A = this chain, B = another copy of it.
Amino acid sequence: MKKIFRTTKRLISKIGLPPGTPVYMGEREREKIKISVIDYDPQNVTQKEISQIKECCSYQDKETVTWINIDGIHEAEVIKHIGKDFNLHPLTMEDIMNPGQRPKVEQFDHYIFIVLKMLSYEEEEKKVTEEQVSLILGKNYVLSFQEKEGDVFNPVRERIHHDLGRIRKSGSDYLAYSLTDVVVDHYFLILEKLGDKVEHLEESLTGGQDDKMLQQIHSLKREMILLRRSVWPLREMINSLERLESSLIQKETLRFFRDVYDHTIQVIDTIETYRDMIFSLHDTYLSTISNRMNEVMKVLTIIATIFIPLTFIAGIYGMNFELMPELKWPFGYFAVLGVMALVALVMVIYFKKKKWL
């Protein structure tokens, strides 16, 4: 449940503060914020770690494309400083520091603010965790904020360094697209994990080992509910990004964002498909339980219905009345055994006719 409450609890602690106050609302990280800068044009690339925040500012007006990546968002001072340098709106700064945002796009005079959710599957806990990634797309720079250090953007760094594809030849908008694309592509990893679980459940259902099945269906449903909650706003966000008529995004790059949009649609389609499957699975599981109950009841009924009347007959001749003529008959015992066999036979025929046997 942690994930849902993050949003709530953080926002509560904000009630009463003037809006636009940048206060970090995630769980406090102990490591220092790490700032790395990659500056490139078609000819050159330079990458370095920055210790003095002031250095950031100098990149703002360079002709080259500058990507400043900030890992860690817990030090209000640092964020504030960067916000001042790059002239960010107070609400933007507040949103960067509050990891409980929905994915969204906001257009400001001189920059576009993009909030993304990055999902990752934690193998140990077997559950999905989410991290907020904020991007500031300016004229020739991109700021990216991550909650904690991670290697998700490495493929993009590789492409810049080895000049793969068109990234070095394109502007900051293409860089922002590349970062968005990498984040969205990570959703497919989550989908694969979930797909495996659904497949596993499907097999359990037909295989018949359903010890923990109900629990698994329930927890899968919950994961799906939370995943949908992350993905739908992502779709809206990328859609509104496409419709944004901003000079910061070139027409050619829009086509690439359209491609990302297609991917989010695919993610949503797959989630909806899984969802439908899990619901169908639960229904089938319920029917299976009912069927088994039916089978159990039939066994009980057959046994009880055959033997209860027989036991009654035996009971009659176990009575101790002084005058019971049958008891004296020489073949009374065998006659009774015969009657019992007949009764049992009738019952069995009856059950055969009812198709219970």
Q: Which residues of A contact B (CB under 8 A)?
A: 1, 4-5, 7-9, 11-12, 14-21, 89, 91, 100-102, 104, 106, 154-155, 158-159, 164-167, 177-178, 181-182, 185-186, 188-189, 191-192, 195, 198-199, 202, 205-206, 208, 214-215, 217-218, 221-222, 225-226, 229, 233, 255-256, 258-259, 262-263, 265-266, 269-270, 272-274, 276-277, 280-294, 296-301, 303-305, 307-312, 314-324, 326-333, 336-337, 355-356
Q: Residue A290 contacts which of B178, B293, B298, B310 (CB distance < 8 angstroms)?
A: B293
Q: Are B284 and A214 in contact (CB under 8 A)?
A: yes
Q: Are A159 and B18 in contact (CB under 8 A)?
A: yes
Q: Chain copies in the assembly?
A: 5
- A11-B311 contact in complex given A18-B166, A195-B1, C-beta closer than 8 Å: no
Shortest CB-to-CB span from A259 to chain B, Å, is: 6
Q: Are B317 and A327 in contact (CB under 8 A)?
A: no
Shortest CB-to-CB span from A25 to chain B, Å, is: 12
Q: Are B314 and A14 in contact (CB under 8 A)?
A: no
Q: Are A328 and B336 in contact (CB under 8 A)?
A: no
A317: chain B residues at CB < 8 Å are: 319-321
Q: Are A294 and B289 in contact (CB under 8 A)?
A: yes
Q: Which residue of B lies closest to A209 (CB)?
A: B355
Q: Are A226 and B269 in contact (CB under 8 A)?
A: no
| 18 more A-B residue pairs beyond the given contacts A18-B178, A300-B300, with a C-beta to C-beta distance below 8 A | A4-B274, A7-B266, A9-B192, A11-B263, A16-B155, A18-B165, A18-B167, A19-B177, A100-B266, A225-B273, A225-B277, A229-B269, A285-B287, A289-B291, A296-B298, A300-B301, A308-B308, A320-B324
